[in-house]
Structure formats: C-alpha cells, structure tokens
Amino acid sequence: MKPTDAQSPHTTHTPHMDHDTFRALGHQTIDWIADYWQHLEDLPVAPPVEPGSIRAQLPATPPEHGEGFPALLADLERIVLPGLMHWQHPRFFGYFPANASGPAVLAELLSAGLGVQGMNWSTSPACTEVEQQMLDWFVHLLGLPDGFRGKGVIQDTASSAVLVALLTALHRASAGRTRENGTSERRYRVYLTRQTHSAAAKAAVIAGLGLRAVCEVATDANGAMDHADLESRIRSDLAAGLTPLMVVATRGTTSHLSFDPLEDIGPICRGYGVWLHVDAAYAGVAAVCDELRWVNDGVHYADSYCTNPHKWLLTNFDCDLLWVTDPEALVGALSVLPEYLRNAASESGRVTDYRHWQIPLGRRFRALKLWSVVRWYGAEGLRTHIRTGVRHAQLFAELLGADDRFTLLAPPTLGLVTFRLNGSEADNRNLLQTINANGTTFLTHSEHNGVIFLRLATGGTRTQDHHIHEAWHAVRGAAPPHIAAEAAKAEVR
C-alpha cells in the first residue's frame, strides 16, 4: 500500500477503494467503534443540541473531488457524535432497548461486504436457507408451537409485520378478490385497543381500509384487551353488515407492558373466523428463559406472530421475526411475478422465494447477524442477558421503593419499571426534563388513565449493576427534597 492510499482516492486511476486501502481503513473503523463503545458511558446520553445545529455544520454543496475516509471519521466525531442519542449507552433507559453487540455488528459488516440480494432463492440460496433455519431455531428457543416451523420470515420491523399480516388476512377473507378489486367490495374492521402500537392503525391506512376500519376495544384496569367487549363489538359489526377482519393483540404493550389475554381472545377469533395477529415485539424474546415462557401464553391461537431480536436480544436493528400459519395466503396476497424474475428453481416448487413474504422486492442478508448472535452467545448466553435485564429492573424498583417521594405504578414487569413522583403532573414532567437534561441518564414517560408516569426500561447490552445505581442517583437527585406524598398517591388510585 502506498503511504497516501488511506488518505485519498486520488492516488489511483480508479475512484474505487482498493483492497489494501479498504483493509487498512476497515481496521481503523473497527478501532473507532471499539473506542466508542469503550468510552460511551463518559458521554451524555441525550444530545444537548438545538434543532438545525448539526445541519449548519455541513457544507451547503457536496464535494467536487473525493476525500479521504479519515476526514469522514473526523467529522463523524466532531459533528455527528455530539448530536446523537446514544442508544447503546449503559444508562439509556428510554423506550425499549435497541441492543447492539459485537457479533451482530461484525455479521452486519459481513452482510454488507457480501452485498447479496436475497429476493429469490436462486439469487442467493444460502441467504434463504440460513434464514429458514434461524426461524426454526427460534421456534425451539422461544417454545413456540411446532406448527410455526417452516413458516417464518425476517421482516425489518414489527410495523412491517402487522402490515404483512393485515394484507394476508385481507386475501384470505376475500378469497383473493382484493388482488383484483381492492377493498371496495366490503367494509372491514380491525380490532385493537388504546394500548396497541400505532403501527396497527397505520397498517389499516396503508392497506386502504382507512381509520374508519379501526375499532377500539375496551381494556381492563391493567390496560389489557377486554375479551367480552371484543366479542360484543364483533357481533355488532356483523349485524351492521361489516366484515370483522383482524384482531391485533399485544403481549407486552409499549406504554406499560399490558398483556392481552390470548387464551380468551383466541377462541373468539376462531369462532368468528377473524385473523389473530399477536404483536410481541419487545416481550416475546424473553421466552428464551423457561420461567418467562408465560409471555407467549395462548400464542397457539395466533394466525401470525412477531417478535424483535433487535430490541432485547443483542441483534442490531433491524430484525423482526414473523411467523404466519398460512403461508399460501401470504404468498397469494403479495406475489407479483414479472417475466424477468422467473427461474427454474422457483417454478420447481421446491424453494421459498422470500420476496413474496414481504412488502419490498429486495432483501438483505439479515439472518447472518442472527446466526452470528446465536452462535456467539448460545441459548445460555441469551438467557443470561434477558435475566440480567429483569434483575436490573427489580434492583431499580427496590431502590425507588425505599424513597417515599415515589410510587411504583406496578411491580416491575420484565425489564420495565413504571413510577411517578408523588406530586402533580407538572412535577413529574419537570422531573423527567431535569433528569434527561443532566445527560447522565435518559428516561421516557407515558400516561395511564390520564396520569403521567415515568418509564425506565433496562436490558442494554453494556448495562451493569452500578449503572442502575447511577440512574437511581440521577432520579433521586433531580426530585424535590420534600413533597406531599398522600395526595399524589390518591391521585394515582
């Protein structure tokens, strides 16, 4: 390698990066990531920046001539890094975790380097068959019904999964007529609750059903779907000439981890011929632990089911696992076959073409990072990671429970602690703002029955016990030293 090869592309006759330069800069980039991870906890979790301040530091026009990659790394550190929310920070406790891990990152790099397009089996057979095996591995790891074997696919997110499920349900309910005529022949209904992820309502909009198709079902005191109200609404819709299409049930809602009762909802869906989609995006992967298999209770009733290793199972975003019990309906809903995609393998009927199982045509080799994670950690390592997150939530709840200025809304569930300061809504909003502005810890908030509360979600790849104590120190330090407890506790009740 010439001394200046790593600095500029202008030393060669081609603008492409040569192998030696790529090798040298690759080492430098991996070193940069490793250094970032090593010193991550020294950075503020949330960026203290104003809107537009990052863009203002970027040139108004693109460079006319190529620049060396080290210049980009320098600007990454100078401009981009100060403007990032550090989701991999060990004291990032907002939303749900978005785990990254060494084996996943390395496999993502391998996937990018291979650059395969796995739309058909024939375009990269290994891309398809490794994915099929990974989905079957996870049927075993999560204790899912054996009927899911051979019926899984990797989507990008749970949002895509619910859209795919909805389109499949439409195809089945219309006996395939929606392919030709759209949805105008009938008025369909999609049932969900206030706690259901907004992606379900968005899927109804994208599918052309509109928000008028969305029917909000009542919930119980814990925010779980009321199955009696569900059945009542289905009956009313049938009487009104509407077609009940799909129920979206959640095992672990975003706000405060409500679990819709599948054992009650499932028979209703079966009885009325309604598609049951189960969204276990966050909680489902916890079933790698035998003692947490309850998160998937009743999943045998599901027509489709999804969960996200990219949240709590050490696999970089994006990676959603979706199983559909009727793949023929799925393929029927999404299959469009131009001549240029025809090939002997597909026409033999012996292979799976995953392009028919998703919205886009193209697909990345996502299964490679899943394979890498499972092989590096093993089932035992995955269980250890989940159990550590559960233990961390319990630890924080114990620390908080010893301070009478705070109230737990409920015992910690999996890796989520929901709590509030014993004060007004403004007091709680101010508390959250103070904690996050401090930069050492990041939390989010939600509301239940009109009451604001704070959320602390554990499960970060690099979070250790002392980070939980540091988070508690940040929460405790940001709270007023004295506050009237009883009135606020009564407000929660």
Per-residue pLDDT at 4 = 45
Token readout for 238 is 């049938």
The angle subtended at Cα 481 by Cα 478 and Cα 487, nearest 5°, is 105
Q: Would 102 be classed as within a structural domain?
A: no
- Identify whether the C-beta of residue 370 lies closer than 8 Å to the C-beta of residue 315: yes
Amino acid (one-letter) located at 473? H
The DSSP bridge partners found for residue 454 are: 419, 445
Q: Would 141 be classed as within a structural domain?
A: yes
Q: Would 40 be classed as within a structural domain?
A: no
Q: Would 384 be classed as within a structural domain?
A: no
Q: Would 292 be classed as within a structural domain?
A: yes
Decide: residue 355, CB within 10 A, 0-12 exposed, 13-18 middle, 19+ buried.
Answer: buried
Instruction: In whole angstroms, give the CA distance from residue 448 to residue 490.
Output: 14
- Other beta carbons within 10 Å of 60: 6
Q: Would 408 be classed as within a structural domain?
A: no
Per-residue pLDDT at 341 = 85
Q: Residue 426 — very low, low, confident or very high, per pLDDT cuts 50/70/90?
A: very high
Distance of CA 232 to the CA centre of its chain: 32
Instruction: In whole angstroms, give the CA distance from residue 226 to residue 216.
Output: 11
Token readout for 322 is 């979706």
Range list of β-strands (E), 317-469: 320-324, 406-408, 416-421, 444-448, 451-457
The pTM for the full model equals: 0.93
CATH for 165: 3.40.640.10
Radius of gyration of the chain from its Cα atoms, rounded to whole angstroms:
25
Please state at what angle helix 198-206 crosses helix 158-173, rounded to 10 degrees.
Answer: 50
Per-residue pLDDT at 216 = 97
Pairing of strands 243-250, 188-192: parallel
Percent of the chain with pLDDT over 70: 95
The domain in which residue 128 lies consists of 116-364
Long-range contacts of 30-33 (CB under 8 A, 24+ apart): 32/73, 32/76, 32/77, 33/105
Per-residue pLDDT at 176 = 76
- Identify whether the C-beta of residue 76 lies closer than 8 Å to the C-beta of residue 426: no
Whether 8 has a pLDDT exceeding 90, the answer reads no
Q: Residue 339 — very low, low, confident or very high, per pLDDT cuts 50/70/90?
A: confident
Q: Would 214 be classed as within a structural domain?
A: yes
- Identify whether the C-beta of residue 106 lies closer than 8 Å to the C-beta of residue 59: no
Instruction: Write the DSSP assignment of 267-303 as a string of letters.
Output: HHHHHHT-EEEEE-TTTGGGGGSGGGGGGGTTGGG-S
- Tokens 């703002």 — which residue? 433
Decide: residue 212, CB within 10 A, 0-12 exposed, 13-18 middle, 19+ buried.
Answer: exposed
Instruction: Write the DSSP assignment of 200-248 as a string of letters.
Output: HHHHHHHTT--GGGEEEPPB-TTS-B-HHHHHHHHHHHHHTT-EEEEEE
Whether 169 has a pLDDT exceeding 90, the answer reads yes
Per-residue pLDDT at 306 = 98
- Strands in 214-216's sheet, in edge-to-edge order, are 152-155, 320-324, 304-307, 275-279, 243-250, 188-192, 214-216
Whether 122 has a pLDDT exceeding 60, the answer reads yes
- Identify whether the C-beta of residue 105 lies closer than 8 Å to the C-beta of residue 29: no
> What contacts 2, CB < 8 A, 6 or more positions away?
11
- Identify whether the C-beta of residue 256 lies closer than 8 Å to the C-beta of residue 446: yes
Token readout for 3 is 């001394």
Per-residue pLDDT at 5 = 45
Residue 486, phi-psi category: left (phi > 0), alpha (psi -120 to 50), beta (remainder): alpha
Q: Residue 7 — very low, low, confident or very high, per pLDDT cuts 50/70/90?
A: low
Total domain count for the chain? 1
Greater confidence, 338 or 211?
A: 211
Q: What is the pLDDT of residues 184-230, one digit of tens each?
A: 778 999 999 999 999 999 999 999 999 999 999 999 999 999 999 99
Q: What is the pLDDT of residues 71-91, one digit of tens each?
A: 999 999 999 999 999 999 999
Q: Would 22 be classed as within a structural domain?
A: no
SS3 letters across 301-360: HCCEEEECHHHHCCCCCCCEEEEECCHHHHHHHHCCCCHHHCCHHHHHCCCCCHHHHCCC
Whether 486 has a pLDDT exceeding 50, the answer reads no
